[in-house]
Amino acid sequence: MSPSESPIACVLAALDPDQRQRHQRLVGELRKAVSGVTELSDGFAFRLRDDDTTWMNTAEFITLERRCCPFLSFSLDSEREQGSYSIRITGRPGVKEFLRDAYKLG
């Protein structure tokens, strides 16, 4: 970790109580929307159900997650012709293990 990098740990104080509650609800909704998980060298990619609510929930999740976990990188993709959505959550060494533990990924 360089001096400018934040530690690989959630900053719970970055979200107020309402935001934490909303974040938890979003995580629950997104778990239901996941149709596949791909392990990457530096994190995970999650294939999501193709609907507008899932897209908006994912964007809101990223907005909140970036506040409490600034060490994560996010990519939200939509396949052409109304294909599925996917979110990639990645980062520097140690992030994949953090994600595996935080989101209980096999």
What domains are defined for the chain? 15-102 (3.30.1360)
Distance of alpha carbon 55 from alpha carbon 58, whole angstroms: 5
CA distances from 80 to 11, 22, 33, 56, 63 (A): 36, 30, 19, 17, 24
- The token duo for 45 is 């990619």
Q: Has residue 19 got a pLDDT over 70? A: yes
Residue of 46, 57, 55 lying closest to 82 (CA atoms)? 55
What mean pLDDT do residues 46-71 have? 96
- For residue 80, name the pLDDT band (cuts at 50, 70, 90): confident
Mean pLDDT to the nearest integer, 28-48 = 96
Q: What is the mean pLDDT of residues 78-99?
A: 91
pLDDT of 82 higher than 80: no
1 confidence band (pLDDT: 50, 70, 90): low
pLDDT, mean of residues 52-60:
96
